[in-house]
């Protein structure tokens, strides 16, 4: 079914087709439309979901934890400060191995107050034990949500999952999108059949007990193992999704990477601008490529290193600053993966787009030009750079 939808509408429709047992949410720009659209499906009887309108995002995640622990399938959506308010419960959800699915519409975290897009919210919880997928456009946001439960609920994983998309850039922009028939989504996602849950009177269990020195280390290690297991599950689910739709997904997308010498690594909607710019550079006989990261957690370090091994210079773009004087989070992961896998390619970092500042193809072209200079001279200079910032470098 071909439709014209915003990213928020697409996310809400995916949730409608999944028909979870519980959706708990609190409004925050720019994700507000997702539970708003979904609430109409509840009110008109399209879904039989229990919609819980709570008093805060902390309560939204708490309600999802309770519902999922009881044996239900729970979903929510939020952005920025809402995710920050959830922070305590985000860690609890993953530590309790509850496969909650959340749509995260990326927005700058205060302060100062800013309602526009960057990735500071997602980067703030990148080590919380949630699987994290990123979406270049509305279609990917929809597809990632359809695949999410199959990944999160797998017996070898049992971890919560957040699907990220760029606030306003995709969440409110209308694009053509191919929807899957309701029955096909229902069959693909399947029924949630937890092995252990609170309302199972045949197996009394405790959820969230005190966990001190004797066991916490082992439980955290189990989480780490589950995150590694998720890599195989993500690819297996993607293969089944491709059989159903013809749309192919991996850990990342390689765009004109076969012979690429200068490569940009990025996530979410920026990939579209980078691809367009790579095409323009190709017209100038520059062998430009783009590596678009789709799966950020678990981070596919070995696979990324292999994909970048033939490049001559690389720029990693971060839409959030780690404020550590040593580069953004994506840059750290990419360079760590390359080092561990013994791949040595000159690599620089660009922090860009903070607070929703536009990033143009002209600016992306300047990055490719910088990479060409690195290839020519062999000199990196300052590897920690800022793109499009005024008078602060």
Residue 140 CA, chain-centre distance (Å), reads: 11
pLDDT, one tens digit per residue, over 94-142 is 999 999 999 999 999 999 999 999 999 999 999 999 999 999 999 999 9
User: What is the mean pLDDT of the segment spanning 149-164?
Assistant: 98
pLDDT, one tens digit per residue, over 16-29 is 999 999 999 999 99
Please give the model's pTM, rounded to 2 decimal places.
Answer: 0.97
pLDDT, one tens digit per residue, over 174-188 is 999 999 999 999 999
pLDDT, one tens digit per residue, over 355-385 is 999 999 999 999 999 999 999 999 999 999 9
pLDDT, one tens digit per residue, over 191-215 is 999 999 999 999 999 999 999 999 9
Q: Would you list the DSSP string of 252-308?
A: EEEES-SS-SEEEEEETTHHHHHHHHHHHHHHTT--EEEEEE-EEES--HHHHHHHH
| Residue 67 pLDDT | 98
| Residue 393 pLDDT | 57
Q: For residue 11, give every residue at least 6 positions away whose Cβ sits within 8 Å of its Cβ, in sequence order, or none.
A: 34, 77, 103, 141, 142, 145, 163, 165
Domain map (residue ranges) of the chain: 2-245, 252-386
pLDDT, one tens digit per residue, over 70-103 is 999 999 999 999 999 999 999 999 999 999 999 9
Fold match, 2-245 / 252-386: yes
Pick the CATH number of 252-386 from 3.30.230.10, 3.40.50.920, 3.40.50.300, 3.80.30.20: 3.40.50.920
| Residue 126 pLDDT | 98
User: What is the mean pLDDT of the segment spanning 242-271?
Assistant: 98
Domain spanning 2-245: which superfamily?
Answer: Thiamin diphosphate (ThDP)-binding fold, Pyr/PP domains (3.40.50.970)
Segments in the chain forming alpha helices (H) = 7-18, 33-43, 57-70, 80-85, 87-95, 120-124, 138-152, 182-189, 216-245, 270-283, 301-308, 329-340, 361-377
- pLDDT of residue 392 exceeding 80: no
The chain-wide mean pLDDT, for the chain, equals 98
Is the peptide bond prior to 45 cis by the omega test (within 30 degrees of 0)? no
């Amino acid at each position: 079914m071909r439709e014209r939808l915003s990213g928020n509408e697409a996310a809400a429709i995916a949730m409608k087709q999944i028909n979870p047992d519980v959706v708990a949410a609190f409004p925050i720009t720019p994700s507000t439309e997702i539970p708003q659209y979904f609430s109409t499906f509840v009110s008109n009887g399209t879904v039989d979901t229990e919609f819980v309108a709570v008093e805060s995002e902390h309560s939204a995640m708490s309600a999802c934890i309770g519902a999922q622990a009881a044996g239900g399938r729970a979903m929510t959506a939020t952005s920025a400060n809402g995710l920050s308010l959830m922070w305590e419960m985000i860690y609890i959800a993953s530590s309790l191995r509850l496969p909650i699915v959340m749509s995260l519409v990326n927005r700058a975290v205060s302060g100062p107050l800013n309602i526009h897009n960057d990735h500071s919210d997602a980067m703030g919880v990148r080590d919380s034990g949630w699987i994290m997928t990123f979406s270049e456009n509305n279609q990917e946001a929809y597809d990632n949500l359809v695949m999410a439960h199959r990944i999160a609920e797998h017996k070898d994983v049992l971890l919560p999952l957040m699907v990220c998309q760029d606030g306003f850039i995709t969440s409110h922009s209308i694009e053509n999108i191919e929807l899957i028939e309701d029955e096909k989504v229902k069959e693909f996602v399947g029924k949630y059949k937890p092995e252990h849950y609170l309302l199972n009177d045949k197996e009394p269990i405790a959820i969230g007990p005190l966990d001190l020195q004797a066991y916490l280390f082992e439980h955290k290690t189990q989480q780490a193992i589950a995150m590694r297991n998720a890599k195989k599950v993500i690819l297996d689910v993607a293969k089944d999704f491709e059989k159903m739709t013809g749309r192919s997904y991996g850990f990342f997308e390689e765009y004109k990477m076969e012979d690429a010498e200068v490569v940009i690594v990025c996530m979410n909607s920026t990939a579209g601008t980078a691809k367009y710019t790579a095409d323009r550079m190709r017209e100038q006989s520059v062998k430009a490529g783009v590596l678009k990261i789709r799966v950020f957690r678990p981070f596919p370090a070995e696979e990324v290193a292999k994909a970048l091994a033939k490049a001559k210079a690389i720029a990693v773009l971060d839409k959030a600053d780690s404020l550590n004087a040593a580069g953004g989070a994506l840059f750290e992961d990419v360079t760590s993966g390359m080092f561990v896998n013994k791949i040595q390619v000159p690599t620089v970092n660009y922090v860009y787009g903070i607070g929703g500042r536009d990033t143009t193809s002209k600016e992306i072209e300047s990055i490719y030009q910088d990479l060409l200079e690195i290839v020519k001279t062999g000199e990196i200079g300052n590897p920690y750079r800022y793109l499009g910032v005024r008078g602060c470098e």
